[in-house]
Amino acid sequence: MIKSLMKGFSALVLLLSMASIVNATPVDTYEFKSVDNQKRALSLAHSLRCPQCQNQNLIDSNSPVAQDLRLEVYQMVDEGKGDDEIVEFMTSRYGEFVLYKPRMEAKTYVLWLGPIALLLFGGVIGFFFIRKQRIADANNQELSSEEQQELDRLLKRDAK
Amino acid sequence: MIPELGHFSLIIGLAFAMLLAIVPLVGVARKDQYLVRYAWPLSYGMFFFILFSVVALGYSFAVDDFSVAYVAHHSNSELPIFFKIAAVWGGHEGSLLFWVFSLAAWAAAVALFSKGLEEVFTARVLSILAMILIGFTLFMLLTSSPFARLFPIPMEGRDLNPMLQDVGLIFHPPMLYLGYVGFAVSFAFAIAALMSGRLDSAWARWSRPWTLAAWVFLTGGISLGSWWAYYELGWGGWWFWDPVENASFMPWLIGTALLHSVIVTEKRGAFRNWTVLLSIFAFSLSLLGTFIVRSGVLTSVHSFAADPSRGMFILLLLGLAVGGSLTLFAFRASEMRSPARFELKSKETMMLICNLLLTVACGTVLLGTLYPLLIDALGMGKISVGPPYFNAVFVPIVLVLFGFMGVGPVIRWKKSKAGEMKRQLIVPAVIAAVAGLAAPFLADGQFNIWVVFGIGMAVWVALMTFRAAYNIVKTKDGSIDLTRLGRSQLGMIIAHLGIAVSVVGATMVSNYSLEKSVRMGPGISHELAGYTFNYVETKNVVGPNYTAQQGQIEVYEGDDYVTLLRPDRRQYNVRTMDMTEAGIDWGLFRDLYVTMGDPISRTEYAVRINYKPYVRWIWFGSIFMMVGGFFAASDKRYRVKAKSAEKTAAKEADKLATA
Amino acid sequence: MKKLVLFIPLVVVLGMGVFLYKGLFLNPQQLDSALEGKPIPAFQLEVLEKSGETVTNETLKGKVGLLNVWATWCPSCKYEHPFLMTLARKNILPIYGINYRDDRPLAIRELSREGNPYAINIYDHDGRLGLDLGVYGAPESFLIDHKGIIRYRYAGPIDSRVWKETLYPMVQQLQAEAAKDGAS
């Protein structure tokens, strides 16, 4: 099993076109000590990336290293270790790469704060756009004849 | 011989495209109507020769011509015939040919259905489409020809990747490409409008049905892909936030914004620069998607074999298209103050807010998708950005978006009447809030904030859409007149309901899925979500090009027999690959989904059982959206009146003289 | 002023293009090891050839060495093997093997047939050491300095080009450091 996959891996990456290595779906029959443990372990393993594969998490990947790591996560959860501890275990061996949810730190500020900045930026643009309209509106209730013509031209070109 | 003809035909198609890119524009510059009118025959010629080229490749697949490298790598004589044909777009080279073919088909369609438009304008659009086509055809001919021969000729083909041997391959890529490439038409319309300096309502009206058509295809392509991944990959997931999925989702988000912005431009003459920008970005993001899928800069489950030289070429095309169009935009964008005024409480404002939110959502996906690349390029190491990030930032943004989306169809253009809005909003808002709060307690009795907002917003959008429909059909004297409902309004209603349906599906399946991994063999039964799964036996099954062990699992609900599930473990002969094929019992309110894992003992297998509530709703919703988009695109207003077309033909000559 | 605003989209897109261009020359598959700069993880394992004898992380200290993860099920390791034999003959540095998730008799038979380039072979049957080293596939190689610190990780088979261009310059540097510290 491990053999064929390891052998397959490099060859497949080179040769296959789409959807390279996903083939058989992994199913483990690990018995958790409790349902809560299972829930926590699965969600944790879902958020960790298999270091060898093409963008798959530990649950979805059938590669041997993913199997090992998955089992490691399950066992550590059953031993009562905390999420932070398990994440630390993984990153100290495989690096930040395995975290699908990057930590908040200097190099990820842009990533985490970017959406908020974008939202603010969009809000500012929208605000000014609307305000400009309203000021123009307040100053000048009616369109000037020139503007009315322009609007008509814009709206009516193909209506002839 | 046939492959050479295909290759040759592609080159002729390229020659037509080159003429099409030059002749009509020269005609416009020289005010020579004769040259301008060459755009039509050239477009049809281009389409014909590229079509022939695709047919030639399909023929080579059908007759198992393994002397063609692309056929040898993606087919096998044992492959069923429909997969052989679908394999035309199953690999890099062939799918690129299909990309180019889609573009030629769109160009031919524009030529055919644009009789009522100004001739000069359409000619420009066709020239721009031809320029894009030249770029990609050159890319194909220079770096990745599907017609390259192989020597010595192999006796057998290496077979199509078993992952792709599925009906999904037959429909998903063509739909997706037609959608991707369709935005090239909106793009070409925007550029033609910039070139002529006439960003007006007519341009918006002409562009709108094409944008809708592209959007319908893209919606179809994405949801087919999601559905395919759901049943084929065996994980039961429907969206993975993989770079390649994001690559198709970003143009969809911007395309959706564009659909709405173009309405404001058409009806009110406002948002013109914004509509142009969105047209440019929708297509640019399609090109970016092509780059991501084919260059290998990001690791994905779905990407084609990576090759930096290909990436370089696409990046060059991307740079030319986007850089060129944005430069044109910077110089030619309308500086005229928007003459159309609107109040804070108006449809325009709602459209603006939804547009901004869609753009921000797209920006977020873009940021997350490219961030690992950014960090790597700066030499700061390797990081991953995955589903936990996207869910955390994307979901709140779209929830806010749904809030405004509900108001949009109900509120008036320009200025809402005082008090009228409040009266219309209050009842749906209360019902939505109650439904949202009740949902998690009905489901499993535990409070869940995401379910509250998901279901609440879905109900809100649905109710407000019904309210909008009521407003449209009700006449002044209070009776109902269905003829007041135009096709584009009907389309809007159906599509917005589709969003609500999809949101219910996504919320339920994300929060209430159950799964269990168990050891199963004859006589063993397990229970999940009130269903009993009873493993009867394992059968050996022989397919056309694979053999399989198939579990026979009976499902009971209480004492009632529900169904027999038959998950497969297939071994494909040629590529010696193992594949799992899930056994699924689908239902309106839940799917039962079973996959077979590795054998544990001689008779027992590891089996995963999934219970997926409401998962179908995600794709039902997309069908709604597609149908809605189709209705809107086929609105009478966009259809050309034959009479006026003749009349305008006479005027064209004068117009050209003044253009 | 208004004109300049219209150039913003162009500037943003061009900036992105630069990164995409740079991205073409990066390999997203190649990961840096999280262990570079850290000591070899503590372990106590049996020697491949003799089941009673144990090796620990202390055993590997004192000399600049190459730690090579291999297995009989790994085809790239077979490709790499002849080069490791040449390297061992040159006697530049000791090569320590980690026989990773393998079968002992198979591994011993393979070495007796193909030659044994390893000064010490650590038998990591359950892959525990591999896990601690952050190994995600064989072959992988680690350069360790005389203090037992991991200085570099190379994933994939070593051949003469990789050795000449990447590994050997580092080995020379590490050996110079070692000489300065008075070790051999």
Is residue C55 included in any domain, yes or no? yes
Q: Which 35-94 residues of chain A touch chain B by CB within 8 A?
A: 42, 46-47, 49, 54-57, 59-60
- Residue C174 near residue C143 (C-beta atoms within 8 A): yes
Which range has highest mean pLDDT (A115-119, B197-201, B572-576, C72-76)? A115-119
- Using a CB–CB cutoff of 8 Å, tell me whether C132 touches chain A: yes
- Whether the bond into B544 is cis, omega within 30 of 0: no
Question: A58 to chain C: which residues are within 8 Å by CB?
Answer: none
Contact C19 B374 (CB under 8 A): yes
> What's the CATH number where C135 sits?
3.40.30.10
Q: Please name the residues between 473 and 512 in chain B that touch chain A, using a CB distance below 8 Å.
A: none
Do B222 and B320 sit in the same domain of this protein?
Answer: yes
Residues in chain B closer than 8 A to A144 (CB atoms): none
Choose among B94, B96, B100: nearest CA to B61: B94
In this structure, the answer to whether residues A82 and A140 fall within a common structural domain is no
Confidence band (pLDDT; 50, 70, 90) for B337? low
Domain count, chain C: 1
CB-CB contact of B130 with B206 (8 Å): no
Q: Which residues of C touch B333 (CB under 8 A)?
A: 6
Q: Comparing A20 with C25, which gets the higher pLDDT? A: C25
Residues 597-656 of B with CB under 8 A from A: 597-598, 600, 605-608
Boundary of a domain, candidates A60, A76, A103 = A103
Residue range B570-629, pLDDT digits in tens: 888 777 777 888 999 999 999 999 998 888 888 889 899 999 999 999 999 999 999 999
- A70 and A122 together in one domain: no
Across the range B308-335, mean pLDDT stands at: 87
Which chain C residues contact residue A69 at CB under 8 A? 131
φ/ψ (deg, to 5) at B98: -65, -35
Q: Which residue has the higher pLDDT, A56 or B305?
A: A56
Model confidence at B200: pLDDT above 60: yes
Domain carrying residue B76: 1-165
Q: Are residues B44 and B66 in the same domain?
A: yes
Same domain for B287 and B408? yes
Contacts across the B-C interface (CB distance below 8 Å):
72
CA nearest neighbour of B118 among A160, A113, C16, C97: A160
pLDDT at A18 over 50: no
Question: For the domain that residue A52 is a member of, what is the CATH number?
Answer: 1.10.8.640
In this complex, the residue of B237, B302, B595 whose CB is nearest that of residue A19 is B302
Is the pLDDT assigned to residue B645 strictly greater than 50? no
The reply to whether A85 and A111 lie within a common domain is no
Q: Domain range spanning residue C83?
A: 40-180
Are residues A99 and A111 part of one domain?
A: no
Residue C1, helix vs strand vs coil: coil
Percentage with pLDDT > 70 across chain C: 97
Cα(B60)–Cα(B79) distance, integer angstroms: 14
For A68, the closest of C31, C131, C138 (CB atoms) is: C131
| A interface with C, Cβ–Cβ below 8 Å | 2-3, 6-7, 9-10, 13, 51-52, 64-65, 68-69, 72, 91-97
Nearest CB to C34 within list A9, A10, A92: A92
Distance CA B526, CA C91 (A): 61
Task: Indicate whether B103 pLDDT > 90.
Answer: yes
The answer on B135 and B67 residing in a single domain is yes
Residues A56 and A72 in one domain: yes
Query: Which of B293, B298, B314, B376 is most worth mutating to test chain C (most C CB atoms within 10 A of its CB)?
Result: B376
pLDDT of residue C184 exceeding 60: no
**A61 and A123 part of one domain:** no
Q: With an 8 Å Cβ cutoff, is C19 touching chain B? A: yes
Give the nearest chain C residue to A49 (CA atoms).
C136
The residues in B 137-176 lying below 8 A from A, measured between CB atoms, are 158, 161-164
Do A12 and A84 have their domain in common? yes
pLDDT of A5 above 50:
no
Alpha-carbon distance of C54 to B601, in angstroms, equals 35
Write out pLDDT tens, residues B228-272. Answer: 989 887 777 889 899 989 999 999 999 999 999 999 998 888 888
Domain identity same for B159 and B177: no
Residue B103 CA to residue B130 CA, distance in Å, equals 9
Which chain A residue has its CA at the smallest distance from C28's CA?
A54
pLDDT at B407: 92
Chain segment B534-543, per-residue pLDDT in tens = 999 999 999 8
Chain C stretch 26-85, residues whose beta carbon is closer than 8 A to a beta carbon of chain B: 26, 28-29, 31-32
Domain count, chain A: 2
Q: What pLDDT is recorded for position A139? A: 54
C17 touching chain B per CB within 8 A:
yes
Query: To the nearest 5 percent, what fractions of chain B are helix, strand and coil?
Result: 65, 10, 25
pLDDT at A16 over 50: no
Q: Do B280 and B159 lie in a common domain?
A: no
pLDDT band at B40 (very low <50, low <70, confident <90, very high): very high
pLDDT at A10 over 50: no
Judged by a CB distance cut-off of 8 A, whether residue A107 touches chain B is: yes
Domain of A84, in residue numbers: 2-103
Mutation target vs B (from A3, A9, A12, A29; most B CBs, 10 A cutoff) = A29
Q: Is residue B313 domain-shared with residue B250, that is, in the same domain?
A: yes
> Which residues make Cβ contacts (< 8 Å) with residue B136, sequence separation at least 6?
B96, B99, B100, B103, B317
- Same domain as A124, residue A84: no
Whether residues B216 and B270 fall in one domain:
yes
Q: Which candidate from C3, C9, C20 shows the least CB-CB separation from B291?
A: C20
Q: What integer pLDDT is reported at residue B651 of this predicted model?
A: 52
Three-state SS annotation for B579-596: EEECEEEECCCEEEEEEE
Number of structural domains in chain B: 3
Chain B within 8 Å of A19 (Cβ-Cβ)? yes
Distance, CA of B474 to CA of B413 (rounded, Å): 18
Asked if the model's pLDDT at residue B275 lies above 60, the reply is: yes
Instruction: Classify burial at B449, counting beta carbons within 10 Å of its beta carbon; exposed 0-12, middle 13-18, buried 19 or more.
Output: exposed
**Three-state DSSP string of C78-147:** HHHHHHHHHHHHHCCCCEEEEEECCCHHHHHHHHHHHCCCCCEEEEECCCHHHHHCCCCCCCEEEEECCC
Distance of CA B619 to the CA centre of its chain: 13
φ and ψ at residue B345, rounded to 5 degrees? -95, 90
Give me chain B's average pLDDT, please.
Answer: 89
Cβ separation A157–B202 shorter than 8 A:
yes
CB-based contact B350:B464 (threshold 8 Å): no
pLDDT score at B515: 86
E strand or H helix at B612, and its extent?
A: strand B605-613
Contact between chains at A6 and C138 (C-beta distance less than 8 A)? yes
- pLDDT at position B368, please? 95
Same structural domain, B183 and B328: yes
CA–CA dist B217, B621 (Å, integer): 14
ipTM of the complex: 0.85
Put simply, whether A149 touches B (Cβ < 8 Å) is: no
Q: How many CB atoms lie within 10 A of CB B379?
A: 8
Query: Does A60 share its domain with A129?
Result: no
Q: What is the mean pLDDT of chain C?
A: 87
Give me the pLDDT at residue A30, please: 81
Q: Read off the pLDDT band of B217 (50, 70, 90).
A: very high
